[in-house]
A and B are shown apart, each in its own frame.
With several copies, the nearest count.
Chain A
Amino acid sequence: MALDKPYVDIPGTTIFDAEQSRKGYWLNQFCMSLMKAENRVRFKAGERAYLDEWPMSEAQKQAVLDRDLNRAISLGGNIYFLAKIGATDGKSFQQMAGSMTGMSEEEYRDMMIRGGRSPEGNRHLGEDGDAQPQHQPQGAAGRKNKEA
């Protein structure tokens, strides 16, 4: 389609547009179902069985089972919907956001206290900031990968 998508060159960022929304429709609607306490109980009692009630792709289901939010977003998930999974797990928004960077909970929290992630080098793909693909995962996990 000929509509502009001026936002595709931002590293580590997926804009939830109509195309993503279509891809992620049932993944996100599954997440919405977790706003009801009785559904949270059923989901926790058998995640796979609960997921199988939804017309989601196998990859989407696996991303949920793995709590792999980056993967879920690439498959059409939106963070405000996916956050219902985190809420079901008793996780805070900071824990969820941090989990997508590869950093430990502590590393991420400390980055925020130090003033957050700098936009420098993270505005366009191809720059050298810490959010660029070539620097993933971040934190100790990344340093370990490099040493190995």
Chain B
Amino acid sequence: MARISASVYTSHVPAIGAAIDHGKTGEDYWKPVFAGYDFSKQWMKDNKPDVIFLVYNDHATAFSLELIPTFAIGTAAQFKPADEGYGARPVPTVIGHPELASHIAQSVIQDDFDLTIVNRMDVDHGLTVPLSLMCGQPEAWPCPVIPFAVNVVQYPVPSGRRCFQLGQAIRRAVESYDEPLNVQIWGTGGMSHQLQGARAGLINAPWDNAFLDRLIADPAGQSEVPHVEYVREAGSEGIELVMWLIARGAMSDVAGGPAPMVRHRFYHVPASNTAVGHLILENG
């Protein structure tokens, strides 16, 4: 039986990817950002999963306005890093896990989540920056990755509650898979940031930290918070944080297990326009 061993949460700021790709991680501006992931890189080595289920959002890369899936699961054998207008990031191709991905798709669709199944998709910084932050610059990513894209660009985006319930369905799906795989689930995006208008650059550190507290201790409560609070308090693009609730919903305590262990917590301002938040929770 497969199981989810841990969940990882992190911002996926494109400028972080650019800093890595252009060798700027040692600059004063970037040093404190990457220092926050030193523990995480070692933890990844010590806790290498068999598969990462990576929740992220596409930023008008694979999906234009022609077609906008609320939830899209990648069931292909591989996914190429996308050219987002600056050329593709020089990072490894993402190897998928078609069997587990199809199994999860089948299970959660039968559980009344109306997924879109995708067999051809390039993946943008939303997916590759978290991998870079957690794994550095390897020749190949340490394990297969199942991309799971959430629409947070065109409203309405799925509610926090829906995301949290989906996470629970994903846990059930993983646990009904026969092979004994060690699966991590990652939630990415956020923390507070706004990329538009006169309010661009908004950062709300107290709110972000309260979100982290509550994500750890009261995720069900956090999942009831409406979108408009995210936008008002954490900026229009802070809405990405609803994706963290998918990963959190997949942890065992939500289904009656013991509380997860907080292995790592990090918060820093700024990275480009954004606050950087990061958590590692292990199932007890």
Contacts and interface: CB of A to CB of B under 8 A. Distances in A.
B197 A28 contact: no
A15 B85 contact: no
Given A2-B176, A3-B103, A25-B65, A116 B198 contact: no
Interface residues of B, number: 59
Contact of B176 (A3, A73, A116): A3
Contacts of B226: 6
Contact of B195 (A19, A35, A97, A136): A97
B98 to A, nearest CB: 6
B154 A21 contact: yes
Contacts of A148: none
Interface in B202-217: 202-205, 207
A67 interface: no
A100 B226 CA distance: 27
Contacts of A31: 60
Contacts of B155: 15-18
B196 A93 contact: no
A113 interface: yes
Contacts of A35: 61, 83-85
Interface residues of A, number: 65
A11 B198 contact: yes
A14 B226 CA distance: 17
Interface of A: 1-3, 6-7, 10-19, 21-22, 25, 28-29, 31-32, 34-35, 37, 40, 69-70, 73, 78-81, 83-84, 86-88, 92-94, 96-98, 100-102, 108, 111-113, 115-119, 122-124, 131-133, 135-136, 138
30 contacts: A2-B177, A10-B232, A14-B197, A15-B155, A16-B153, A16-B155, A18-B105, A18-B154, A21-B65, A32-B64, A73-B197, A78-B60, A80-B60, A81-B60, A84-B84, A84-B85, A92-B272, A94-B272, A97-B273, A98-B200, A101-B198, A101-B200, A108-B200, A112-B201, A112-B269, A116-B273, A117-B200, A119-B202, A119-B232, A131-B199
